[in-house]
Amino acid sequence: MATAADGRLQGARSANTSSFSRARSSPSAVLPSPPNPGVKLGPNGATFVSSGIPDLDRILGGGFLLGSLVMVMEDADAPHHLLLLRNFMSQGVVHRQPVLFASPLRDPRAFLGTLPSPVSSSKEHRQRDTLVDHNQQDQEKGLRIAWQYKKYFGDQQSSQNHNRDVKQEFSNDFDLRKALERQHVQYIESMSIQDIPHLTILRDRCSNFLSGLPRSDGGNLSAGRIAIQSLCAPQCGYAEMDWDLVAFIRFLRSIIRSSNVVAVVTFPTSFLLPAFLKRWQHLADTLLSVRAIPDEDKDMAKLLTGYQDMLGLLHVHKVAQNNSQVPTVLEASTFSLKLQKRRSLVLERLNQAPVEASSGTSYSTSGTCSGPSKGSSLDF
């Protein structure tokens, strides 16, 4: 056990100092990932936490980067950003990570009552167990895996198995119809930013939250999450405080940069001046936007397959690039938000529908039209 722990420590250290990203992708380098299932190591010394939507994690190259600021531009007409926030917080609860939630709602606790709980199916009973007694299982798993390594030392197969194990626990599917039980939610720190004329209080709460986080010891990384809903909504009363708001975002960005926290801030774009909107976008490490789609748009329905099942669109504008200068170029930047089996969120690339009577000229934008879209059309 001691040797395994040493190896893990050493691995963590080499992950921090290694300057080559190539080395990280080799199985031996991934092998000593921290035993905490909520945190995953990536290239460039990055550590990820899950966004709560497995598809989004995949799109972003692993999840939300710890120490980064994720900003979501809201749609003025639809509350799709709340889906992202809910899953983000629920995933934090499942992983027993400290969560701070700030909202312009008068009673943020009520909103926390709507957090989805993880999907429990017979196939994924491991995920169901994670909620029950998480820590104990972790330790057992850590032990078992360490033991396996000794047995199959140098065997690639085992490390791949291990990877798969970690991946399974890293992100859960959430059932939007089933609320998370109260006793789990009560650990979320929440505050209302309505009628608080100064951002000082929010600043203090954020820095207190950060200083209250357990220190990461050894290879066991502990992460925290900050979720701020509708930062510049009119009910917050931040009119004429444009510079205070950008200063707050800069402050938030700078304090989380050196910590194991990821912050998700959603904001309605229509209340910002264009120049400030750009400033906010520049400050974001990861920039997403959500958009509703009109119900009865015949043209769109003809153009895209599975249009009826779409809840909305998610657009990825920018992906966090800490410790690297290379921009991430995604194959597609717009995805459709859908519900799988009416309960869990999935993201799919847009697929152009075949044009009738001219199959020769039609082309599909991608080959990733996966199972869920077919299944869900039956469900609805």
Partner 1 sequence: MNPSPPPPRDPDLLEEALGLGRGGSPPWRLAFVEDCVETSGAFVLHHFLKRALSTEGDGTVVFLGLAQPFSHYDRVLRKMGCNLSVQRNKNKLHFIDLLNLEFLGERRLSNEKGENDIEIGFMDLYNRILRSIEAIRSKDYNGGWTTIIIDDLSHLEIAAHGSAKHVLDFLQYCRSLTSEMDCSLVILNHEDIHSSDEALQMLSHLDYISDILIKAETLSTGIAADVHGQMTVIIKDAPGGLIKKLHSFQFKVKENGVEFFYPGSRF
116: contact with partner 1 by CB under 8 A = no
Binding mask 309-348 for partner 1 (x = CB under 8 A): --------xx--xxxxxxx-x---x---------------
Binding mask 30-49 for partner 1 (x = CB under 8 A): --------------xx----
Residue 149 CB coordination number (10 Å): 19
CB 189 within 8 A of CB 56: no
**By C-beta, is 154 or 274 nearer to partner 1?**
274
Residue 42, burial from CB neighbour count under 10 angstroms (0-12, 13-18, 19+): buried
Residue 269, burial from CB neighbour count under 10 angstroms (0-12, 13-18, 19+): middle
240: contact with partner 1 by CB under 8 A = no
- In the structure encoding, which two tokens stand for residue 213, read together? 């986080």
Q: How far apart are CA 198 and CA 321, in angstroms?
A: 31
Binding mask 361-380 for partner 1 (x = CB under 8 A): --------------------
CA distances from 307 to 315, 345, 373 (A): 16, 15, 10
265: contact with partner 1 by CB under 8 A = no
Region of 89-97, 129-137, 260-268, 269-277 interacting with partner 1 (CB under 8 A): 269-277
Q: Report, in Å, the least distance between residue 316 CB and partner 1.
A: 11
Q: Report, in Å, the least distance between residue 214 CB and partner 1.
A: 21
Using CA of residue 290, residue 291, residue 292, residue 297, what is the dihedral sign? Answer: negative
- Site size for partner 1 (CB under 8 A): 39
For 256, phi then psi, to 5°, come to -80, -20
> What's the DSSP call for residue 223?
-
278: contact with partner 1 by CB under 8 A = yes
279: contact with partner 1 by CB under 8 A = yes
**By C-beta, is 178 or 257 nearer to partner 1?**
257
355: contact with partner 1 by CB under 8 A = no
Q: Cα–Cα–Cα angle for 292, 116, 140, nearest 5°? A: 135
Q: How far apart are CA 45 and CA 266, in angstroms?
A: 27
- The contact set with partner 1 (CB under 8 A) reads 19-21, 44-45, 198, 200, 203, 242-244, 246-247, 250-251, 254-255, 257-258, 273-276, 278-279, 281-282, 287, 317-318, 321-327, 329, 333
